Structure 1
Amino acid sequence: MSKQVGDFIIERVREWGITRIFGFPGDGINGLMGALRRAENEVDFIQVRHEEMAAFMACAHSKFTGEVGVCMATSGPGAIHLLNGLYDAKLDHQSVVAIVGQQARMAMGGDYQQEVDLISLFKDVAGEYVHMIMVPEQARQVVDRAIRIAKAKRCVTCIIVPNDVQELEAVEQAPRKHGSVHTGVGHALTNVVPPLEALQQAANVLDEGKRVSILIGAGALGAAEEVKQVAELLGAGVAKALLGKAALDDRLPYVTGSIGLLGTEPSWEMMIDCDTLLMIGSSFPYSEFLPKEGEARGVQIDIDGRMLSLRYPMEVNLLGDTKATLQALIPLLKRKEDRSWQEKIMENVHDWWEVIEARARNEANPINPQLVFSELSPRLPENCIITSDSGSCANWFARNLRVREGMMASLSGNLATMCPGVPYAIAAKFAFPERVVLALVGDGAMQMLGINGLITIAKYWKRWSNPKLVIMVLKNLDLNQVTWEQRVMVGDPEFTTSQDVPDFPYAQYAEMLGLKGVRVEKPEDIGSGWDAVLGADRPAILEVHTDPNVPTIPPHITFEQTVKFSKMLVKGDPHEIGIIKQTFKDLVEEILPH
């Protein structure tokens, strides 16, 4: 049988070094499915339970490996289902290619079944490159450009293939004549460094600063040693945006932890009191948590020129690769003799961890969620990979979990969507089957998509060299993050009709699937619960019953938020007594830990 266009597409994807595709079949991609069957030993097709999970997995694959992630879906509804996960990749600047089917060419424009204008649909999320292969001669250039652009621009691209085109006879290369395009395989090797003049300007600003604060994001991943050298030379503290949580060891005494609404008190204080800001590889969105405009000088390093001076008006903007730029900057910096600023930061960090530990030990009904994370921190396996979902669990992931060198961690940063926690973890396990992976998820996200992920885990886990994959579910029967946002940002009591989450036996369901399930309902059992799932010989679910009334207190509470919180209490919240008790306990621990 002659090679079909579907075969050519899969082979070309393989030539780019891509060996795994996440997706779900459908008649709009039957030709591609046939090609995947014929290339089964070359390209691994991971069948998910929902196309949204495929897109999340492709995003996570890019986040954890630095490679291009690929997802695949059928025409119409399948393609539509990819969108949320693709937007997650777009907003977090990840390299993802979506390959989607389309109805036959002769049907297009005829209001045919499942016919959707896919080019228009994907034009925003895959705006850098979205094209439809209409003839076999196009296949090579469209595949090559989609993958190359996704990698070079750190963006989402999309390839649309009508189902009849998939089964046409392939053309290895376009004819050599006017109007043809001849592309090749291979990514460019980049090591962008700003000019020496700009580096010297940045060094001058940083050297003149007496109170330097550093903010790092995902762009600092892989540059830990350089960031440490800069922090030690400048006598600075280092705050971390959520996507940069794993960029630097939380045990370093000058690391203030996360910043923003989910951040720490030391990060807030450092940013408010600094006179110089160095931002490295971050698009952290909340300007109110940065220094007030005009009160600090600024230097920023980013590989994407579009992100420079976006959150704060920087005096010096350095366009370049983080590691290479810092390596070029370090010899130009002078070591500060006055260490009082950094010593103050270190003192604040030490006190903060005492506060965090004290808050975690406060009694709750039945379990304080902070305790779940505090008990996990010392138990984190070496080189593990951690994923978090959005919601209140992201608060405790950001504040209470101490990530060590060699670990990886991520969540949905800029989109902050629900549901990536479990698919991220599955993708991480496929990419690094020998490493322990943990997903930290709320019961809202678990019911929305995570339960489906357990079925996928049950399907594939025996393929992994190390079967340890742990999913922890915070079971508080409440869409907790939004409930607290209603209280603090709007001043409304909890609207139970919208916020209540149905009860579901997660651990029991895991056991039904052949996985391990552990249920914890008492605080004294948390430690043994973690030990049980981390020691399991198969993927495991830890279902922890936690108190929804433990407040997710931001590092800085504005007067307006205080007024709205008070109004909520005046209006009457169904959990008013519990809220007052738990809020009072946490505020007391901030003043008098233990």
Structure 2
Amino acid sequence: MAETVGDYLLRRLREWGVEQVFAYPGDGINGIVASFEKAGNQPRFVQARHEEMAAFEAVGYAKFSGQVGICMATSGPGAIHLLNGLYDAKLDHVPVVAIVGQTARSAMGGSYQQEVDLQALYKDVASEYLVEVNVAEQLPNALDRAIRTALAKRAPTALIVPADLQETRYTPPEHEFKHVPSSAPGWPHPVTIPPEDELARAADLLNAGDKVAILVGQGARNAAAEVRELAERTGAGVAKALLGKDVLPDDLPYVTGSIGLLGTRPSYELMRDCDTLLIVGSNFPYSQFLPEFGTARAVQIDIDGSMIGMRYPTEVNLIGEAQGTLRALLPMITRKDDRSWRETIEKNVTNWWDTVEQQAMLDANPVNPMRIVHELSKRIPEDAIITADSGSSTNWYARNLKIRGRMRGSLSGTLATMGPGVPYAIGAKFAHPDRPVIALEGDGAMQMNGLAELITIARYRELWSDQRLIVCVFHNNDLNQVTWELRAMGGSPKFVESQSLPDISYADFAHTLGFQAITVDTPDQLAPAWDRAFSVNRPTVLDVRCDPEVPPIPPHATFEQMKSAAQAVLKGDPNAWHLMAQGLKTKAEELLPSR
């Protein structure tokens, strides 16, 4: 039987080492689906419940494997559904390739069923590389370039393959005019290092500083050892952007934790009081959480020159890969003998973790959501992977979870879309089937996407040697983050019609799928529930009923934000007195001296 274009496409993916394609079928990709069957399902067709989930799973796989994620969908509505996940990849700089079908070439331009102008639709999200393959000879170069560009640019790319072309005989490009060949799959990781004179300028600036602060993002992940050495020599504290939460462990005494609206007080104080700032591999956008302009001299290291010098008025910009650049920089850094700045940082960090524990142990109705992550943090294995969704639960992931050992964690950092927590966890499981994975989900995100993807977990769990995929639902029947934003930013009370969620049992649904299902209604049930979840080699859903009125107050909350929240209460916010009581108790633990 002659090899078709669909057959060759899968063969080329295998040559690239692709082991799974996260997808949903449709007649616009029937030719490729038929090729999966002929190829013995190699690479594996991983069927999500929705194309958006397939894209999120590809993003999660790419984030936790370091390899390209592949997603696939049919023409028209399928291609449209991929977009949210692809924008998540674009904004978080993740290599993902989307392969989408299109109506047959003979019908193009005829307002045919499911015909959408995919070139126009994908022009922005796949701006680094987007191509429609219209003849077989195009395919090797187009597919290879889509993968190489995704890896080189850390961005989504897209390949459009018309339905009729998928079923035609594959013929390779020839050595002739207007044919474009390709090379064997492979992509060497580049190591870019700035010139020595620029490194020397950066070293002089850092050596001159008395109070050095370091901000790391996901681009510093391969340079953890070098960041630690630099922090030791300069006496710096290290704050972490949310996407860089897993760059350094939180048991290092000078690591101040997350920065920003979801950040910690030590990170806020570090940025407020430093006189020198080094940014490594981060495009953290909220400049109001960085030092006041003019109070700190700054250096930035980033592999992407287009992203450098954007967030703070930096004096020295080093365009280079983090690990290689820091290795070249370190010999030029002198060790600071005065450790008073470091001692202040370490004292602030110690006090903060004491405060966080005290806040987590406060009574609430029925369970304090901070305590959910606090109890997890004490038990989580050091090789675990954590995914977080977007919502108020993200605050507790950012502030209360202590990263240790080889733990990894991520979320939709820049798009901050709801719904990727569970599909990210599925992608993580395909990347690391031998490691436990925990998804921290608000009940809004769970109802939006998570419930359906539990079915996907049930379908593929047997492929994972460690089947511990634990979905923890923060069950408060409220779209809580937006409720608090209404209060704190707009001075508006909770609008019940938009904010309240239908009350369902997530544990009961999980039980029908054969999961371990645990309902938690009281604080004393929480620690045993986490112990049970980690002790059984199968998927688990923790359905934890928690208090929606425990406020995610930033440690650096402004007077205007607190005034707005108070105005919301005075305007008739439901549960107003309980809301005020929880807020006062929580803030008091931070402001009072540590016990």
Normalised by the size of structure 1, how large is the TM-score? 0.99
User: Deviations 1:104-152 (Å, cap 9, x if unpaired)?
Assistant: 0111111111000001101100001111111111111111111111111
SS at match of 2:222: coil
Whole-angstrom CA distance in 2 between matches of 1:441 and 1:139: 40
User: In the alignment, does 2:489 pair up with 1:489?
Assistant: yes
How far the C-alpha of 1:22 sits from its partner, in A, is 0.3
User: In the alignment, does 2:166 pair up with 1:182?
Assistant: no
Instruction: Write out the 4+ residue segments of structure 1 that deviate beyond 4 Å after TM superposition.
Output: none
Aligned counterpart, 2:525: 525
Whole-angstrom CA distance in 1 between matches of 2:384 and 2:223: 19
Whole-angstrom CA distance in 2 between matches of 1:486 and 1:57: 31
Gaps of 5+ in 2: none
Aligned counterpart, 1:335: 335
Aligned counterpart, 1:141: 141
Aligned counterpart, 2:34: 34
User: In the alignment, does 2:46 pair up with 1:22?
Assistant: no
Whole-angstrom CA distance in 2 between matches of 1:335 and 1:346: 18
How far the C-alpha of 1:186 sits from its partner, in A, is 2.1
User: Deviations 1:406-450 (Å, cap 9, x if unpaired)?
Assistant: 111100000011111000101111111110110000000000000
Whole-angstrom CA distance in 2 between matches of 1:192 and 1:432: 29
Aligned counterpart, 1:214: 214
Whole-angstrom CA distance in 2 between matches of 1:202 and 1:420: 39
User: In the alignment, does 2:297 pair up with 1:297?
Assistant: yes
Whole-angstrom CA distance in 2 between matches of 1:95 and 1:24: 20
Whole-angstrom CA distance in 2 between matches of 1:339 and 1:103: 67
Matches for 1:389-538 after TM superposition, within 5 Å:
389-538=389-538
Aligned counterpart, 1:75: 75
Matches for 1:1-20 after TM superposition, within 5 Å:
1-20=1-20
Aligned counterpart, 2:565: 565
Asked if the contact 1:105–1:162 (Cα under 8 Å) also holds between the matched residues in 2, the reply is yes
Please give the root-mean-square deviation of Cα atoms over the aligned residues, in Å. Answer: 0.9
Whole-angstrom CA distance in 2 between matches of 1:333 and 1:358: 39
Normalised by the size of structure 2, how large is the TM-score? 0.99
SS at match of 2:257: strand
Aligned counterpart, 1:193: 193
How far the C-alpha of 1:183 sits from its partner, in A, is 1.3
Whole-angstrom CA distance in 2 between matches of 1:312 and 1:549: 35
Matches for 1:115-134 after TM superposition, within 5 Å:
115-134=115-134
User: Deviations 1:249-305 (Å, cap 9, x if unpaired)?
Assistant: 101000000000000001001101111100000011110000111111000011111
Whole-angstrom CA distance in 2 between matches of 1:257 and 1:557: 17
SS at match of 2:181: coil
SS at match of 1:538: coil
Asked if the contact 1:246–1:405 (Cα under 8 Å) also holds between the matched residues in 2, the reply is no
Whole-angstrom CA distance in 1 between matches of 2:388 and 2:552: 16
Whole-angstrom CA distance in 1 between matches of 2:188 and 2:295: 40
User: Deviations 1:216-243 (Å, cap 9, x if unpaired)?
Assistant: 0001112211111000100000000011
Whole-angstrom CA distance in 2 between matches of 1:465 and 1:390: 29
Whole-angstrom CA distance in 2 between matches of 1:531 and 1:338: 44
Aligned counterpart, 1:238: 238
Whole-angstrom CA distance in 1 between matches of 2:338 and 2:384: 37
Q: How many residues align?
A: 593
Range with bigger deviation, 257-266 or 56-65: 56-65
Whole-angstrom CA distance in 1 between matches of 2:88 and 2:409: 16
SS at match of 1:54: helix
User: Deviations 1:152-206 (Å, cap 9, x if unpaired)?
Assistant: 111110000110000111012x122221111112213311111111111000000
Whole-angstrom CA distance in 1 between matches of 2:570 and 2:441: 32
Whole-angstrom CA distance in 2 between matches of 1:371 and 1:199: 45
User: In the alignment, does 2:341 pair up with 1:344?
Assistant: no
What letter corresponds to residue 463 of structure 1 in structure 2? Answer: L
What letter corresponds to residue 389 of structure 2 in structure 1? Answer: D
Whole-angstrom CA distance in 2 between matches of 1:463 and 1:188: 30
SS at match of 1:311: coil
What letter corresponds to residue 252 of structure 1 in structure 2? Answer: L
Matches for 1:315-326 after TM superposition, within 5 Å:
315-326=315-326
Whole-angstrom CA distance in 1 between matches of 2:509 and 2:88: 28
Whole-angstrom CA distance in 1 between matches of 2:568 and 2:369: 23
Aligned counterpart, 2:363: 363
Structure 2 vs 1, CA of residues 500 and 41 (structure 1 numbering), >3 Å: closer, same or farther? closer
Aligned counterpart, 1:279: 279
How far the C-alpha of 1:41 sits from its partner, in A, is 5.3
What letter corresponds to residue 104 of structure 1 in structure 2? Answer: A
Whole-angstrom CA distance in 2 between matches of 1:38 and 1:437: 33
What letter corresponds to residue 84 of structure 1 in structure 2? Answer: N
Aligned-pair identity in percent equals: 55
SS at match of 1:247: coil
Whole-angstrom CA distance in 2 between matches of 1:163 and 1:240: 46
Whole-angstrom CA distance in 2 between matches of 1:567 and 1:470: 39
Matches for 1:131-170 after TM superposition, within 5 Å:
131-170=131-170
Whole-angstrom CA distance in 2 between matches of 1:135 and 1:322: 41
Asked if the contact 1:226–1:323 (Cα under 8 Å) also holds between the matched residues in 2, the reply is yes
SS at match of 1:563: helix
SS at match of 1:25: coil
SS at match of 2:466: coil
Matches for 1:49-60 after TM superposition, within 5 Å:
49-60=49-60
Whole-angstrom CA distance in 2 between matches of 1:421 and 1:565: 29
SS at match of 2:179: coil
What letter corresponds to residue 239 of structure 1 in structure 2? Answer: A
How far the C-alpha of 1:532 sits from its partner, in A, is 1.1
Aligned counterpart, 2:309: 309
Whole-angstrom CA distance in 2 between matches of 1:365 and 1:562: 22
How far the C-alpha of 1:349 sits from its partner, in A, is 0.4
Whole-angstrom CA distance in 2 between matches of 1:68 and 1:587: 43
What letter corresponds to residue 565 of structure 2 in structure 1? Answer: F
Asked if the contact 1:551–1:582 (Cα under 8 Å) also holds between the matched residues in 2, the reply is yes
SS at match of 2:483: helix
Whole-angstrom CA distance in 1 between matches of 2:562 and 2:357: 25
SS at match of 1:21: strand
Aligned counterpart, 1:384: 384
Whole-angstrom CA distance in 1 between matches of 2:460 and 2:126: 30
Whole-angstrom CA distance in 2 between matches of 1:497 and 1:196: 61
How far the C-alpha of 1:562 sits from its partner, in A, is 2.6
What letter corresponds to residue 551 of structure 1 in structure 2? Answer: P
Whole-angstrom CA distance in 2 between matches of 1:192 and 1:217: 18
Asked if the contact 1:518–1:541 (Cα under 8 Å) also holds between the matched residues in 2, the reply is yes
Range with bigger deviation, 151-160 or 564-573: 564-573
Gaps of 5+ in 1: none
How far the C-alpha of 1:405 sits from its partner, in A, is 2.2
Asked if the contact 1:127–1:157 (Cα under 8 Å) also holds between the matched residues in 2, the reply is yes
Whole-angstrom CA distance in 2 between matches of 1:261 and 1:432: 31
SS at match of 1:127: coil
Whole-angstrom CA distance in 2 between matches of 1:464 and 1:119: 37
Whole-angstrom CA distance in 2 between matches of 1:405 and 1:381: 9
